[in-house]
Amino acid sequence: MAVSSINNNSGTGGTGTGNSAADLSNQFMTLLVAQMKNQDPTNPMDNNQLTSQLAQFNMAAGVEKLNSSVAGVQAMMIQLGSMSASAWVGRSVLIEGEAKVSFGEPGIGIMQEGVEIPGNSDDFHFALSDDAETVTVTLHDGDKAYTAELKNVKKGMNTFNLDDLENFKPEPGPPRDREYTLSFEASNPEGENPEVFGLVQDQVQGVTMDPSGPILHLLNHDPIGMGKVFVIQK
């Protein structure tokens, strides 16, 4: 069926010429009216095809409104996340990192509510993805390494002290007058070996917003997302 040419600006009321579902629907209705006026009486339009086209435009409009609503919810969630993250300022957190320990020396202090609380540098933290029969802790001092084992460690975050480690190899164990870097390995005689993550303590100094969510600025490490925090400490 031949259709006479139609001016792109046809229609009344200044119908939109954009690409939104509403604009496309208005343009479609303008074309439809012109097509009905110029249709061949002996070969009228197919009602089924017309109904299908109208349904497609209505679906497109619904999807566009849904996308707009989802975007609004996402923006609201980001704002809520920012408000929640602002309460973390001044709090100490545990994040994945390479821990350093030393015997009996005071650690780096953490500010809590304006008061500096001294840390214990002979404490160390790690997280397990599952229960482990054995966690091997290795203290590194340059090219020297000393290992000891922890038994029946539960999944999740764990805190131990260097005094909890016994029977170091090689004997007589690590000298107590220096700092060590820690590494961990978890194992089970039967089944898969759990993942183990060494954790370090730091303090949240500030929060900034990013399209992906709040970013925490730390005292001693690079900025991280909230999802990188294993534990928020009091």
3-state helix/strand/coil string of 62-120: HHHHHHHHHHHHHHHHHHHHHHHHHCCCCCEEEEECCCEEECCCEEEEEEECCEEEEEE
Per-residue tens of pLDDT for the chain, all 234 residues: 443 433 444 444 444 455 665 666 677 677 777 766 776 667 766 666 666 766 776 676 666 666 666 666 655 655 555 566 678 888 889 999 988 888 875 544 444 444 444 455 788 999 999 999 999 999 999 999 999 999 999 999 999 999 899 899 999 989 988 889 999 999 998 878 999 999 998 999 988 877 777 889 999 999 998 889 988 876
The pTM assigned to this predicted structure is 0.58
Cα dihedral sign for 36, 42, 43, 44?
A: positive
User: Among candidates 187, 132, 144, which has minimal Cα distance to 168?
Assistant: 144
Helix 47-86 vs helix 21-37: angle between axes, to the nearest 10 degrees? 170
Give dist(CA 127, CA 195) in Å, integer: 8
Q: Are 57 and 25 a contacting pair, CB within 8 Å?
A: yes
